[in-house]
Amino acid sequence: MYLKEFERWLAADLEDCDMKPELMSVQGNDEEIKDRFAVALKFGTAGLRGVLGAGTNRMNIYVVRQATQGLANWVKTQGGTQTVAVSYDSRLKSDVFAKEAAGVLAANGIKVRIYDALMPVPALSFATRYYNCNAGIMVTASHNPAKYNGYKAYGPDGCQMTDDAAAIVYSEIQKTDVLTGAKVMSFAEGVECGMIRFCGDDCKKALYEAIEARQVRPGLCKTAGLKLVYSPLNGSGLVPVTTVLKDMGITDITIVKDQEYPNGYFTTCSYPNPEIFEALELGLKTCKECGADLMLATDPDADRVGIAMKCPDGSYELVSGNEMGVLLLDYICAGRIEKGTMPANAVAVKSIVSTPLADAVAAHYGVEMRNVLTGFKWIGDQIAGLEADGEVDRFIFGFEESYGYLAGPYVRDKDAIIGSMLICEMAAYYRSIGSSIKQRLEEIYNEYGRYLNKVDSFEFPGLTGMDKMTGIMTELRQNPPAEIAGYKVTKVTDYTKPEETGLPSANVLIYALEGGATVVVRPSGTEPKIKTYFTTLGKDLAEAQAQKDALAAALKPLFS
């Protein structure tokens, strides 16, 4: 079957001139053909994500058109404004795919609002809400390597699409022939006939104003003298992040030179992920050269931000997503109480794989902490619930350990723009009182205990990878471990059982261990890997690390 589909693509008059040579180069190579055509990229709540190239299992204009036709079929049943917002980042062909999607929507009689230049995930979420759209499309593969691209779909609330809506869209996609099934209109024709319009400056201004309104201590940064190094990692963060920082009074910003402008090849770091040291290496070098107080890096679609903080000895230390989530929660709570802006019955939200230290901090300030499934849409879902009850102002902060933060209801996805703003404001505040982020973090550990949170990943590439992952999760459920590294398992929480967790079903297992440590096992939703999240608690870092190492060593054979 896949050979027949390969021959059909080979014989077709393909519009993308890169595809024909690629197909000809794999002719006669069954393994390569199978990899491209044996399956199609699956559309789920995270949309599509795959390697760029020719074939049904690749990201290309035909797969994008097919997905957009499926989305258009769903939008047509939704009433409302019959409008879809579109944005894209700096990845290879992101602009091409965004315009192709806009053309398919226009050909289906659906109006489009598209940004006139690359803009990040939070800007797409905001535009979807600002223009009362039925849906939104963000062309990005987030922090994946350069050979990937993707397509995220959003609902009318600016949150990533729900399971039910995604299932309907996927069903419509499957009815659409990948090469010929989508209605098509050129982008130029769509603009000319008025079906495709650009997002106005009013939309961008409203986004920046909504973010800046969430400052905890407005005006503080104007006099703090904070010296910042910033890297957009060749992505979409440069304009929005620097605009907001300059508006709040941070003017001493050194941009990491080779990572300043959009570049989908990401030549300075093969994996543009602010969670990893390699992505921040150039920024750290720049920090040492100019003596910066702080370094920020946002990923290509600018929904996540990583930092390095200056230590008292002049060295720089990376801050984990869990640590920054706790620091921001602590700063927002303390600052809003001091300023009298803390709402009654305040709510914070985090994912179940994020550090329990945040629960302790929230309890200290009298804030309700809600724990939700992994995926920022579940945090967005909590905001939507508060909004429906007329209590949206109760939401003060949400975060995931994977460096995603949000401190307001103006969008429904993680936002590196507001993350950057609040991190800088926090750094400026601690500097103004003779302290630092590093010092405050140590104070938090002294107060609540030395938590350590680490994530290990096990990759399962190739067509059999998903089957191996399924087998491992099945084995863990059928034969649950009684102990891990000598620590007795006191409780197993299986998130495929909503009746026990009170949350929607998810392929996640959490093991509570004697002594307070936890281990979470979760297959990634976007990549062929299983992640293990360790939380250990010791009298000091060395003790917490030793326990983590023992737990990881005991689990490793299960994932081989």
* Catalytic residue numbers, as ranges: 142
300-315: burial string, b at 16+ Cβ within 10 Å, e else: bbbbbbbbbbbeeeee
| CA 87 to each of CA 118, 264, 319, 482: distance values in angstroms, whole numbers, following the listed order | 7, 15, 30, 48
Amino acid identity, position 3: L
Contact 287, 295 (CB under 8 A): yes
Reduce the DSSP state of residue 472 to 3 states and report it.
Answer: helix
525/530 Cα distance (integer angstroms): 9
DSSP 507: S
Q: Which residues pair with 48 in a beta bridge?
A: 151
Tokens of residue 438, six digits: 């590093």
- Dihedral sign for Cα atoms in the order 19, 21, 22, 27: positive
Sheet containing strand 305-310, strands side by side: 253-255, 228-231, 294-298, 305-310, 316-319
Contact 134, 215 (CB under 8 A): no
Contact 141, 432 (CB under 8 A): no
CB-based burial label for 73 (10 Å; 0-12, 13-18, 19+) = middle
210/373 Cα distance (integer angstroms): 27
Amino acid identity, position 172: E
Q: Which H or E run includes 202?
A: helix 201-212
Q: Give phi and psi for 284, each to the nearest 5.
A: -65, -40
| CA 326 to each of CA 334, 369, 436: distance values in angstroms, whole numbers, following the listed order | 12, 12, 15
169/42 Cα distance (integer angstroms): 11
